[in-house]
Structure 1
Protein backbone atom coordinates (compact mmCIF):
# COMPACT_ATOMS: atom_id res chain seq x y z
CA UNK A 1 0.00 0.00 0.00
CA UNK A 2 2.76 2.44 0.95
CA UNK A 3 4.63 1.56 -2.25
CA UNK A 4 1.51 2.27 -4.32
CA UNK A 5 1.05 5.67 -2.69
CA UNK A 6 4.71 6.55 -3.16
CA UNK A 7 4.43 5.71 -6.87
CA UNK A 8 1.22 7.69 -7.31
CA UNK A 9 2.65 10.85 -5.76
CA UNK A 10 5.49 11.33 -8.31
CA UNK A 11 3.11 10.44 -11.14
CA UNK A 12 0.59 13.02 -9.94
CA UNK A 13 3.31 15.65 -9.60
CA UNK A 14 4.64 14.82 -13.06
CA UNK A 15 1.14 15.14 -14.54
CA UNK A 16 0.69 18.57 -12.91
CA UNK A 17 4.07 19.73 -14.22
CA UNK A 18 3.27 18.53 -17.74
CA UNK A 19 -0.11 20.27 -17.67
CA UNK A 20 1.51 23.47 -16.43
CA UNK A 21 4.10 23.28 -19.21
CA UNK A 22 1.37 22.81 -21.82
CA UNK A 23 -0.55 25.81 -20.49
CA UNK A 24 2.58 28.00 -20.51
CA UNK A 25 3.44 26.90 -24.04
CA UNK A 26 -0.06 27.63 -25.32
CA UNK A 27 -0.06 30.99 -23.53
CA UNK A 28 3.30 31.91 -25.07
CA UNK A 29 2.14 30.94 -28.55
CA UNK A 30 -1.06 32.96 -28.26
CA UNK A 31 0.78 36.05 -27.00
CA UNK A 32 3.33 35.75 -29.84
CA UNK A 33 0.68 35.36 -32.55
CA UNK A 34 -1.80 37.81 -34.02
CA UNK A 35 -4.81 36.10 -32.48
CA UNK A 36 -5.24 38.96 -30.01
CA UNK A 37 -4.56 42.47 -31.26
CA UNK A 38 -3.11 44.79 -30.15
CA UNK A 39 -0.27 42.80 -28.60
CA UNK A 40 -0.40 44.44 -25.16
CA UNK A 41 -3.78 42.78 -24.56
CA UNK A 42 -2.08 39.38 -24.51
CA UNK A 43 1.17 39.70 -22.55
CA UNK A 44 3.50 36.71 -22.51
CA UNK A 45 4.28 34.72 -19.35
CA UNK A 46 7.67 36.47 -19.21
CA UNK A 47 6.02 39.90 -19.31
CA UNK A 48 3.66 38.89 -16.53
CA UNK A 49 6.61 37.64 -14.50
CA UNK A 50 8.43 40.94 -15.05
CA UNK A 51 5.32 42.82 -13.87
CA UNK A 52 5.18 40.58 -10.78
CA UNK A 53 8.85 41.22 -9.96
CA UNK A 54 8.45 44.95 -10.58
CA UNK A 55 5.43 45.04 -8.25
CA UNK A 56 7.55 43.51 -5.48
CA UNK A 57 10.61 45.74 -5.80
CA UNK A 58 11.82 49.32 -5.90
CA UNK A 59 12.11 50.59 -9.46
CA UNK A 60 12.68 53.89 -11.31
CA UNK A 61 9.85 55.56 -13.22
CA UNK A 62 9.51 58.37 -15.71
CA UNK A 63 12.53 57.30 -17.72
CA UNK A 64 14.97 58.48 -15.09
CA UNK A 65 16.88 56.88 -12.28
CA UNK A 66 16.45 59.78 -9.85
CA UNK A 67 12.86 58.87 -8.95
CA UNK A 68 12.31 55.44 -7.42
CA UNK A 69 8.94 54.08 -6.40
CA UNK A 70 7.97 51.24 -4.10
CA UNK A 71 6.12 48.40 -5.80
CA UNK A 72 2.81 49.50 -7.29
CA UNK A 73 0.76 52.41 -5.91
CA UNK A 74 3.24 52.71 -3.05
CA UNK A 75 2.95 49.12 -1.83
CA UNK A 76 4.57 45.83 -2.74
CA UNK A 77 2.26 43.24 -4.27
CA UNK A 78 2.47 41.02 -1.20
CA UNK A 79 1.36 43.97 0.93
CA UNK A 80 -1.70 44.43 -1.29
CA UNK A 81 -2.40 40.71 -0.80
CA UNK A 82 -2.04 40.91 2.99
CA UNK A 83 -4.52 43.81 3.18
CA UNK A 84 -7.07 41.85 1.12
CA UNK A 85 -6.52 38.75 3.26
CA UNK A 86 -7.13 40.83 6.39
CA UNK A 87 -10.41 42.14 4.96
CA UNK A 88 -11.48 38.63 3.96
CA UNK A 89 -10.47 37.25 7.35
CA UNK A 90 -12.57 39.82 9.21
CA UNK A 91 -15.53 39.24 6.89
CA UNK A 92 -15.31 35.46 7.27
CA UNK A 93 -14.94 35.78 11.04
CA UNK A 94 -18.14 37.81 11.31
CA UNK A 95 -19.94 35.40 8.96
CA UNK A 96 -18.91 32.42 11.12
CA UNK A 97 -19.83 34.13 14.40
CA UNK A 98 -23.29 35.01 13.06
CA UNK A 99 -23.92 32.17 10.61
CA UNK A 100 -23.05 29.13 12.75
CA UNK A 101 -25.31 29.99 15.75
CA UNK A 102 -28.09 31.07 13.39
CA UNK A 103 -27.75 27.84 11.41
CA UNK A 104 -27.84 25.79 14.61
CA UNK A 105 -31.02 27.56 15.74
CA UNK A 106 -32.67 27.21 12.33
CA UNK A 107 -31.77 23.53 12.18
CA UNK A 108 -32.94 22.76 15.72
CA UNK A 109 -36.20 24.67 15.57
CA UNK A 110 -38.01 23.93 12.31
CA UNK A 111 -40.53 26.76 12.68
CA UNK A 112 -37.70 29.26 13.19
CA UNK A 113 -35.89 27.83 10.17
CA UNK A 114 -39.03 28.05 8.04
CA UNK A 115 -39.44 31.69 9.09
CA UNK A 116 -35.89 32.83 8.27
CA UNK A 117 -35.03 30.35 5.53
CA UNK A 118 -36.42 32.47 2.65
CA UNK A 119 -34.33 35.45 3.78
CA UNK A 120 -31.12 33.40 3.81
CA UNK A 121 -31.97 32.05 0.35
CA UNK A 122 -32.66 35.62 -0.77
CA UNK A 123 -29.19 36.74 0.33
CA UNK A 124 -27.63 33.69 -1.31
CA UNK A 125 -29.26 34.39 -4.67
CA UNK A 126 -28.14 38.02 -5.05
CA UNK A 127 -24.67 38.75 -6.52
CA UNK A 128 -22.59 40.59 -3.90
CA UNK A 129 -21.78 43.32 -6.43
CA UNK A 130 -25.42 44.44 -6.19
CA UNK A 131 -24.86 45.51 -2.57
CA UNK A 132 -21.82 47.69 -3.11
CA UNK A 133 -23.70 50.92 -3.88
CA UNK A 134 -25.75 51.16 -0.72
CA UNK A 135 -22.97 49.70 1.45
CA UNK A 136 -20.72 52.58 0.36
CA UNK A 137 -23.60 54.99 1.04
CA UNK A 138 -24.13 53.52 4.51
CA UNK A 139 -20.57 52.86 5.66
CA UNK A 140 -18.41 55.09 3.45
CA UNK A 141 -15.58 54.22 1.10
CA UNK A 142 -13.23 52.74 3.68
CA UNK A 143 -12.83 49.20 5.00
CA UNK A 144 -16.19 48.90 6.76
CA UNK A 145 -18.17 48.73 3.51
CA UNK A 146 -15.70 46.23 2.04
CA UNK A 147 -15.85 43.96 5.07
CA UNK A 148 -19.65 43.95 5.09
CA UNK A 149 -19.74 43.08 1.41
CA UNK A 150 -17.52 40.08 2.16
CA UNK A 151 -19.76 39.15 5.11
CA UNK A 152 -22.80 39.12 2.80
CA UNK A 153 -20.89 36.88 0.38
CA UNK A 154 -19.73 34.41 3.06
CA UNK A 155 -22.73 34.36 5.41
CA UNK A 156 -25.27 32.32 3.36
CA UNK A 157 -23.08 29.25 2.57
CA UNK A 158 -21.92 28.98 6.18
CA UNK A 159 -25.47 29.26 7.52
CA UNK A 160 -26.93 26.78 5.02
CA UNK A 161 -24.12 24.28 5.61
CA UNK A 162 -24.74 24.47 9.36
CA UNK A 163 -28.48 23.90 8.86
CA UNK A 164 -27.82 20.85 6.69
CA UNK A 165 -25.37 19.51 9.26
CA UNK A 166 -27.87 19.85 12.12
CA UNK A 167 -30.66 18.23 10.14
CA UNK A 168 -28.33 15.35 9.28
CA UNK A 169 -27.96 14.39 12.96
CA UNK A 170 -30.24 11.47 13.85
CA UNK A 171 -32.95 12.23 16.36
CA UNK A 172 -32.21 9.05 18.33
CA UNK A 173 -28.67 10.32 19.02
CA UNK A 174 -30.07 13.49 20.60
CA UNK A 175 -32.71 11.57 22.54
CA UNK A 176 -30.09 9.13 23.83
CA UNK A 177 -27.97 11.83 25.48
CA UNK A 178 -31.08 13.57 26.80
CA UNK A 179 -32.21 10.37 28.54
CA UNK A 180 -28.77 10.23 30.17
CA UNK A 181 -29.45 13.59 31.76
CA UNK A 182 -27.64 15.93 29.37
CA UNK A 183 -28.79 19.54 29.32
CA UNK A 184 -29.61 21.36 26.09
CA UNK A 185 -26.24 23.10 26.23
CA UNK A 186 -24.46 19.75 26.61
CA UNK A 187 -26.48 18.30 23.71
CA UNK A 188 -25.32 21.17 21.51
CA UNK A 189 -21.66 21.20 22.60
CA UNK A 190 -21.08 17.43 22.89
CA UNK A 191 -23.27 16.00 20.12
CA UNK A 192 -24.64 18.60 17.74
CA UNK A 193 -21.51 20.69 17.15
CA UNK A 194 -19.11 17.73 16.65
CA UNK A 195 -21.59 16.08 14.28
CA UNK A 196 -22.14 19.34 12.38
CA UNK A 197 -18.45 20.37 12.27
CA UNK A 198 -17.64 18.65 8.92
CA UNK A 199 -20.55 20.48 7.25
CA UNK A 200 -19.51 23.78 8.83
CA UNK A 201 -15.97 23.34 7.50
CA UNK A 202 -17.32 22.49 4.04
CA UNK A 203 -19.48 25.62 4.17
CA UNK A 204 -16.44 27.62 5.20
CA UNK A 205 -14.55 26.35 2.14
CA UNK A 206 -17.39 27.49 -0.10
CA UNK A 207 -17.53 30.82 1.73
CA UNK A 208 -13.81 31.39 1.21
CA UNK A 209 -14.32 30.83 -2.52
CA UNK A 210 -17.19 33.32 -2.59
CA UNK A 211 -15.12 35.83 -0.62
CA UNK A 212 -12.26 35.60 -3.12
CA UNK A 213 -14.62 36.05 -6.08
CA UNK A 214 -16.02 39.12 -4.31
CA UNK A 215 -12.75 40.76 -3.28
CA UNK A 216 -12.35 42.66 -6.57
CA UNK A 217 -15.89 44.03 -6.26
CA UNK A 218 -15.25 44.90 -2.62
CA UNK A 219 -12.17 46.89 -3.60
CA UNK A 220 -13.61 48.71 -6.61
CA UNK A 221 -14.05 51.86 -4.49
CA UNK A 222 -10.96 53.08 -2.64
CA UNK A 223 -9.54 49.56 -2.72
CA UNK A 224 -5.86 50.46 -2.46
CA UNK A 225 -3.96 48.90 -0.92
CA UNK A 226 -5.62 45.63 -1.90
CA UNK A 227 -4.95 42.92 -4.47
CA UNK A 228 -8.43 43.23 -5.97
CA UNK A 229 -8.17 47.00 -6.16
CA UNK A 230 -4.77 46.75 -7.84
CA UNK A 231 -6.09 44.21 -10.36
CA UNK A 232 -8.98 46.53 -11.25
CA UNK A 233 -6.89 49.70 -11.41
CA UNK A 234 -4.14 48.14 -13.51
CA UNK A 235 -6.75 46.84 -15.94
CA UNK A 236 -8.26 50.31 -16.38
CA UNK A 237 -4.76 51.70 -17.00
CA UNK A 238 -4.00 49.06 -19.67
CA UNK A 239 -1.34 47.47 -17.46
CA UNK A 240 -2.59 44.07 -18.54
CA UNK A 241 0.52 42.16 -17.47
CA UNK A 242 0.19 43.52 -13.94
CA UNK A 243 -3.54 42.81 -13.91
CA UNK A 244 -2.90 39.19 -14.94
CA UNK A 245 -0.19 38.91 -12.27
CA UNK A 246 -2.72 40.06 -9.65
CA UNK A 247 -5.30 37.58 -10.94
CA UNK A 248 -2.77 34.74 -10.76
CA UNK A 249 -1.83 35.71 -7.20
CA UNK A 250 -5.51 35.73 -6.23
CA UNK A 251 -6.04 32.32 -7.83
CA UNK A 252 -2.96 30.65 -6.32
CA UNK A 253 -3.73 32.11 -2.90
CA UNK A 254 -7.28 30.74 -3.11
CA UNK A 255 -5.89 27.29 -3.98
CA UNK A 256 -3.48 27.47 -1.02
CA UNK A 257 -6.27 28.53 1.37
CA UNK A 258 -8.51 25.72 0.14
CA UNK A 259 -5.69 23.23 0.71
CA UNK A 260 -5.24 24.53 4.27
CA UNK A 261 -8.99 24.19 4.90
CA UNK A 262 -9.00 20.63 3.50
CA UNK A 263 -6.14 19.68 5.81
CA UNK A 264 -7.94 21.36 8.73
CA UNK A 265 -11.10 19.44 7.88
CA UNK A 266 -9.23 16.13 7.94
CA UNK A 267 -7.54 17.10 11.23
CA UNK A 268 -10.58 18.47 13.05
CA UNK A 269 -13.12 16.01 11.65
CA UNK A 270 -11.20 12.82 10.79
CA UNK A 271 -14.38 10.75 11.06
CA UNK A 272 -15.95 12.43 8.02
CA UNK A 273 -16.77 9.89 5.33
CA UNK A 274 -16.20 6.92 7.66
CA UNK A 275 -18.96 4.49 8.46
Structure 2
Protein backbone atom coordinates (compact mmCIF):
# COMPACT_ATOMS: atom_id res chain seq x y z
CA UNK A 1 0.00 0.00 0.00
CA UNK A 2 1.42 3.36 -1.04
CA UNK A 3 1.50 6.43 1.19
CA UNK A 4 -1.13 8.15 -0.97
CA UNK A 5 -3.50 5.19 -0.61
CA UNK A 6 -2.99 5.16 3.17
CA UNK A 7 -3.81 8.87 3.38
CA UNK A 8 -7.13 8.60 1.51
CA UNK A 9 -9.24 7.50 4.52
CA UNK A 10 -7.70 10.33 6.57
CA UNK A 11 -8.59 12.90 3.89
CA UNK A 12 -12.13 11.60 3.65
CA UNK A 13 -12.55 11.71 7.42
CA UNK A 14 -11.25 15.28 7.55
CA UNK A 15 -13.59 16.32 4.75
CA UNK A 16 -16.56 14.78 6.54
CA UNK A 17 -15.50 16.44 9.79
CA UNK A 18 -15.33 19.87 8.16
CA UNK A 19 -18.72 19.35 6.55
CA UNK A 20 -20.30 18.39 9.89
CA UNK A 21 -18.65 21.35 11.62
CA UNK A 22 -19.91 23.68 8.89
CA UNK A 23 -23.46 22.37 9.33
CA UNK A 24 -23.26 22.81 13.12
CA UNK A 25 -22.03 26.38 12.68
CA UNK A 26 -24.92 27.20 10.35
CA UNK A 27 -27.45 25.68 12.76
CA UNK A 28 -25.85 27.54 15.67
CA UNK A 29 -26.03 30.88 13.88
CA UNK A 30 -29.61 30.16 12.86
CA UNK A 31 -30.56 29.40 16.48
CA UNK A 32 -28.71 32.50 17.73
CA UNK A 33 -30.42 34.84 15.27
CA UNK A 34 -33.95 33.47 15.68
CA UNK A 35 -34.17 32.12 19.26
CA UNK A 36 -31.74 34.33 21.17
CA UNK A 37 -31.42 37.65 19.37
CA UNK A 38 -34.87 37.42 17.75
CA UNK A 39 -33.78 39.59 14.83
CA UNK A 40 -36.98 38.73 12.94
CA UNK A 41 -40.38 37.59 14.23
CA UNK A 42 -41.15 33.86 13.76
CA UNK A 43 -43.70 34.51 11.03
CA UNK A 44 -40.96 36.21 8.96
CA UNK A 45 -38.02 33.88 9.63
CA UNK A 46 -38.74 30.63 11.52
CA UNK A 47 -36.71 29.06 14.30
CA UNK A 48 -34.98 25.68 13.83
CA UNK A 49 -37.55 24.14 16.18
CA UNK A 50 -40.45 25.36 14.04
CA UNK A 51 -38.88 23.93 10.89
CA UNK A 52 -38.18 20.64 12.67
CA UNK A 53 -41.84 20.43 13.67
CA UNK A 54 -42.82 20.78 10.02
CA UNK A 55 -40.43 17.94 9.17
CA UNK A 56 -42.05 15.82 11.88
CA UNK A 57 -45.56 16.63 10.69
CA UNK A 58 -44.76 16.01 7.05
CA UNK A 59 -42.56 12.92 7.31
CA UNK A 60 -43.65 10.77 10.24
CA UNK A 61 -45.81 12.68 12.71
CA UNK A 62 -49.34 14.01 12.85
CA UNK A 63 -50.41 17.56 12.40
CA UNK A 64 -51.57 20.09 9.78
CA UNK A 65 -49.28 18.62 7.11
CA UNK A 66 -49.57 14.98 8.17
CA UNK A 67 -47.62 12.88 5.66
CA UNK A 68 -47.81 15.54 2.94
CA UNK A 69 -44.06 16.17 2.81
CA UNK A 70 -43.28 12.50 2.29
CA UNK A 71 -45.95 12.04 -0.37
CA UNK A 72 -44.82 15.24 -2.09
CA UNK A 73 -41.25 13.90 -2.30
CA UNK A 74 -42.57 10.69 -3.86
CA UNK A 75 -44.70 12.55 -6.42
CA UNK A 76 -41.85 14.86 -7.40
CA UNK A 77 -39.33 12.02 -7.72
CA UNK A 78 -41.74 10.06 -9.90
CA UNK A 79 -42.20 12.99 -12.26
CA UNK A 80 -38.57 14.00 -12.48
CA UNK A 81 -37.42 10.39 -12.84
CA UNK A 82 -39.69 9.70 -15.81
CA UNK A 83 -39.10 13.10 -17.37
CA UNK A 84 -35.33 12.84 -16.98
CA UNK A 85 -35.21 9.39 -18.60
CA UNK A 86 -37.25 10.63 -21.56
CA UNK A 87 -35.03 13.71 -21.85
CA UNK A 88 -31.87 11.58 -21.83
CA UNK A 89 -33.23 9.23 -24.49
CA UNK A 90 -34.44 12.02 -26.80
CA UNK A 91 -31.50 14.32 -26.13
CA UNK A 92 -28.97 11.55 -26.65
CA UNK A 93 -30.44 10.60 -30.02
CA UNK A 94 -30.78 14.18 -31.26
CA UNK A 95 -27.31 15.10 -29.97
CA UNK A 96 -25.75 12.17 -31.81
CA UNK A 97 -27.52 13.13 -35.03
CA UNK A 98 -26.32 16.73 -34.67
CA UNK A 99 -22.73 15.56 -34.25
CA UNK A 100 -22.93 13.43 -37.40
CA UNK A 101 -24.87 15.80 -39.67
CA UNK A 102 -23.63 19.37 -39.93
CA UNK A 103 -26.81 20.97 -41.37
CA UNK A 104 -28.77 19.74 -38.35
CA UNK A 105 -26.05 21.00 -36.02
CA UNK A 106 -25.99 24.44 -37.66
CA UNK A 107 -29.78 24.84 -37.42
CA UNK A 108 -31.26 22.90 -34.50
CA UNK A 109 -28.02 23.14 -32.51
CA UNK A 110 -28.04 26.92 -32.77
CA UNK A 111 -31.68 27.07 -31.68
CA UNK A 112 -31.00 24.82 -28.68
CA UNK A 113 -28.09 27.04 -27.65
CA UNK A 114 -30.47 29.98 -27.58
CA UNK A 115 -33.21 28.09 -25.74
CA UNK A 116 -30.73 26.98 -23.09
CA UNK A 117 -30.54 30.55 -21.82
CA UNK A 118 -34.32 30.71 -21.32
CA UNK A 119 -35.27 30.12 -17.65
CA UNK A 120 -37.35 27.01 -17.09
CA UNK A 121 -40.13 29.03 -15.47
CA UNK A 122 -40.68 30.78 -18.81
CA UNK A 123 -41.84 27.49 -20.37
CA UNK A 124 -44.53 26.96 -17.73
CA UNK A 125 -47.17 29.40 -19.10
CA UNK A 126 -46.75 27.92 -22.59
CA UNK A 127 -47.03 24.38 -21.22
CA UNK A 128 -50.20 25.25 -19.29
CA UNK A 129 -51.85 26.95 -22.28
CA UNK A 130 -50.79 24.19 -24.68
CA UNK A 131 -51.38 21.10 -22.51
CA UNK A 132 -53.63 22.36 -19.72
CA UNK A 133 -53.21 22.74 -15.97
CA UNK A 134 -52.26 19.10 -15.43
CA UNK A 135 -49.43 16.60 -15.11
CA UNK A 136 -48.59 16.80 -18.80
CA UNK A 137 -47.60 20.45 -18.45
CA UNK A 138 -45.18 19.62 -15.63
CA UNK A 139 -43.66 16.73 -17.58
CA UNK A 140 -43.23 18.92 -20.65
CA UNK A 141 -41.18 21.47 -18.72
CA UNK A 142 -39.04 18.78 -17.08
CA UNK A 143 -38.35 17.03 -20.39
CA UNK A 144 -37.50 20.18 -22.33
CA UNK A 145 -35.12 21.40 -19.61
CA UNK A 146 -33.33 18.04 -19.52
CA UNK A 147 -33.40 17.48 -23.28
CA UNK A 148 -31.49 20.63 -24.23
CA UNK A 149 -28.31 20.11 -22.12
CA UNK A 150 -28.20 16.39 -22.99
CA UNK A 151 -28.43 17.05 -26.74
CA UNK A 152 -25.77 19.77 -26.62
CA UNK A 153 -23.51 17.67 -24.38
CA UNK A 154 -23.68 14.58 -26.61
CA UNK A 155 -23.11 16.61 -29.75
CA UNK A 156 -20.16 18.49 -28.27
CA UNK A 157 -18.61 15.38 -26.72
CA UNK A 158 -18.68 13.40 -29.98
CA UNK A 159 -17.31 16.34 -31.97
CA UNK A 160 -14.43 16.70 -29.48
CA UNK A 161 -13.18 13.15 -30.06
CA UNK A 162 -9.67 13.53 -31.56
CA UNK A 163 -9.66 13.09 -35.36
CA UNK A 164 -6.84 10.56 -35.03
CA UNK A 165 -9.26 8.18 -33.28
CA UNK A 166 -11.64 8.36 -36.22
CA UNK A 167 -8.79 7.71 -38.64
CA UNK A 168 -7.57 4.77 -36.57
CA UNK A 169 -11.06 3.26 -36.51
CA UNK A 170 -11.45 3.51 -40.27
CA UNK A 171 -7.95 2.13 -40.81
CA UNK A 172 -8.82 -0.90 -38.71
CA UNK A 173 -11.85 -1.56 -40.89
CA UNK A 174 -14.71 -0.08 -38.88
CA UNK A 175 -17.76 0.83 -40.92
CA UNK A 176 -19.83 3.93 -40.11
CA UNK A 177 -22.01 2.18 -37.53
CA UNK A 178 -19.05 0.53 -35.78
CA UNK A 179 -17.14 3.81 -35.82
CA UNK A 180 -19.99 5.53 -33.97
CA UNK A 181 -20.80 2.77 -31.48
CA UNK A 182 -17.31 1.39 -30.81
CA UNK A 183 -15.10 4.47 -31.18
CA UNK A 184 -16.90 7.81 -30.97
CA UNK A 185 -19.46 7.12 -28.23
CA UNK A 186 -17.03 5.29 -25.88
CA UNK A 187 -14.45 8.05 -26.36
CA UNK A 188 -17.06 10.74 -25.66
CA UNK A 189 -18.56 8.98 -22.61
CA UNK A 190 -16.81 11.06 -19.87
CA UNK A 191 -18.09 14.34 -21.32
CA UNK A 192 -21.52 12.85 -21.96
CA UNK A 193 -21.87 11.87 -18.29
CA UNK A 194 -20.94 15.42 -17.31
CA UNK A 195 -23.81 16.62 -19.50
CA UNK A 196 -26.16 14.13 -17.85
CA UNK A 197 -25.33 15.60 -14.45
CA UNK A 198 -26.05 19.10 -15.73
CA UNK A 199 -29.33 17.89 -17.24
CA UNK A 200 -30.38 16.41 -13.89
CA UNK A 201 -29.95 19.72 -12.09
CA UNK A 202 -31.86 21.54 -14.85
CA UNK A 203 -34.71 19.00 -14.75
CA UNK A 204 -34.97 19.09 -10.95
CA UNK A 205 -35.15 22.87 -10.81
CA UNK A 206 -37.63 22.95 -13.68
CA UNK A 207 -39.85 20.44 -11.88
CA UNK A 208 -40.09 22.54 -8.72
CA UNK A 209 -40.89 25.66 -10.72
CA UNK A 210 -43.56 23.89 -12.75
CA UNK A 211 -45.18 22.33 -9.68
CA UNK A 212 -45.18 25.74 -8.01
CA UNK A 213 -47.44 27.17 -10.71
CA UNK A 214 -49.66 24.14 -11.32
CA UNK A 215 -52.11 22.26 -9.13
CA UNK A 216 -50.25 18.93 -9.12
CA UNK A 217 -49.25 17.67 -5.66
CA UNK A 218 -45.51 17.80 -5.17
CA UNK A 219 -42.74 19.76 -3.48
CA UNK A 220 -43.38 22.83 -5.61
CA UNK A 221 -47.07 22.80 -4.72
CA UNK A 222 -46.14 22.39 -1.05
CA UNK A 223 -44.14 25.61 -1.31
CA UNK A 224 -47.25 27.30 -2.68
CA UNK A 225 -49.31 25.92 0.23
CA UNK A 226 -46.80 27.38 2.67
CA UNK A 227 -46.99 30.76 0.95
CA UNK A 228 -50.78 30.83 0.86
CA UNK A 229 -51.06 29.89 4.55
CA UNK A 230 -48.20 32.19 5.62
CA UNK A 231 -46.40 29.12 7.00
CA UNK A 232 -42.80 30.16 6.50
CA UNK A 233 -41.56 27.16 8.50
CA UNK A 234 -43.16 24.83 5.95
CA UNK A 235 -41.54 26.80 3.13
CA UNK A 236 -38.09 26.52 4.69
CA UNK A 237 -38.57 22.81 5.45
CA UNK A 238 -39.59 22.16 1.84
CA UNK A 239 -36.62 24.14 0.51
CA UNK A 240 -34.30 22.01 2.64
CA UNK A 241 -35.90 18.82 1.31
CA UNK A 242 -35.54 20.07 -2.28
CA UNK A 243 -31.86 20.80 -1.71
CA UNK A 244 -31.15 17.50 0.04
CA UNK A 245 -32.92 15.32 -2.54
CA UNK A 246 -31.40 17.18 -5.47
CA UNK A 247 -27.96 17.05 -3.88
CA UNK A 248 -28.15 13.31 -3.19
CA UNK A 249 -28.98 12.46 -6.79
CA UNK A 250 -26.27 14.84 -7.98
CA UNK A 251 -23.78 13.00 -5.76
CA UNK A 252 -24.81 9.68 -7.31
CA UNK A 253 -24.28 10.96 -10.84
CA UNK A 254 -21.05 12.72 -9.79
CA UNK A 255 -19.72 9.45 -8.35
CA UNK A 256 -20.47 7.72 -11.67
CA UNK A 257 -18.78 10.56 -13.54
CA UNK A 258 -15.69 10.35 -11.32
CA UNK A 259 -15.48 6.58 -11.74
CA UNK A 260 -15.64 6.85 -15.53
CA UNK A 261 -13.06 9.63 -15.63
CA UNK A 262 -10.70 7.55 -13.49
CA UNK A 263 -11.20 4.54 -15.73
CA UNK A 264 -10.32 6.71 -18.71
CA UNK A 265 -7.24 8.10 -16.96
CA UNK A 266 -8.64 11.63 -16.93
CA UNK A 267 -8.63 11.97 -13.16
CA UNK A 268 -6.25 10.77 -10.46
CA UNK A 269 -7.88 9.04 -7.48
CA UNK A 270 -7.61 11.34 -4.47
Same-fold call, TM cutoff 0.5: yes
3-state SS of 1:40 partner: coil
State the Cα distance separating 1:163 from its structure 2 match.
1.7
Structure-2 separation of matches of 1:222 and 1:214: 12
Aligned partners of 1:209, 1:156: CA distance in 2, in Å?
12
Structure 1 residue runs of 5 or longer lacking an equivalent are 62-68
Give the alignment of 1:123-202 within 5 angstroms: 123-202=115-194
Q: Please give the secondary structure, in 1, of the residue aligned with 2:62.
A: strand
In the alignment, the residues of structure 1 paired with residue 196 and residue 159 of structure 2 have an alpha-carbon distance, to the nearest angstrom, of 18
Determine if contact 1:80/1:226 at 8 Å carries over to the other structure: yes
CA distance in 1, matches of 2:214, 2:111: 30
Residue number in structure 2 paired with 1:35: 39
Per the TM alignment, residue 274 of structure 1 is displaced from its structure 2 partner at its CA by: 5.1
- The equivalent residue for 1:249 is 241
What is the rounded CA distance, in whole Å, between the counterparts of 1:5 and 1:220 in structure 2? Answer: 43
Quick one: structure 1 residues 261 and 218, their matched pair in 2 at CA, closer, same or farther if it must change by over 3 Å?
same
Contact residue 212 and residue 223 of structure 2 kept, 8 A = no
| RMSD over equivalenced CA pairs, Å | 1.9
Match of 1:90 in 2: 82
Contact 2:33 2:39 in 1 (8 A): yes
1:205 to 186, 197, 206: 197
Aligned length: 263
Q: Is the 8 A contact 1:94 1:151 kept in 2?
A: yes
Q: Which structure carries more helix by proportion? A: 2
| Structure 1 pair 126–221 and aligned structure 2 pair: CA distance change class (3 A) | same
1:88/1:211 contact within 8 Å kept: yes
Contact 2:98–2:104 (8 Å) recurs in 1: yes
- Tell me whether 1:3 sits opposite 2:6 in the alignment: yes
Aligned to 1:227: 219
Contact 1:155 1:207 in 2 (8 A): yes
Q: Choose from 64, 71, 95 the match for 2:67.
A: 71
Runs of 4+ in 1 over 4 A off after TM superposition: none
Equivalent-residue separation in structure 1 for 2:91 and 2:119 (angstroms): 18
Measured against aligned partners, the alpha-carbon deviations of 1:178-232 in whole angstroms (never above 9, x if no partner) come to: 2222121111111111111111111111111112222222102444421121122
Q: TM-score, normalised by structure 2?
A: 0.90
* Contact 1:92 1:151 (C-alpha < 8 Å) held by counterparts: yes
Judge conservation of contact 2:57–2:66 (CA < 8 Å) in 1: no
TM-score, normalising length: structure 1: 0.89
State the secondary structure of the residue aligned to 1:39: coil
The structure-2 alpha-carbon separation of the partners of 1:112 and 1:224, relative to structure 1 and needing over 3 Å to count, comes to: closer
Q: Is the 8 A contact 1:30 1:42 kept in 2?
A: no
Give the 3-state SS of the residue equivalent to 2:173 in structure 1. coil
- Specify every segment of 5 or more residues in structure 2 that has no aligned partner in the other structure, as ranges: none
Distance 1:17 1:58 in 2: 26
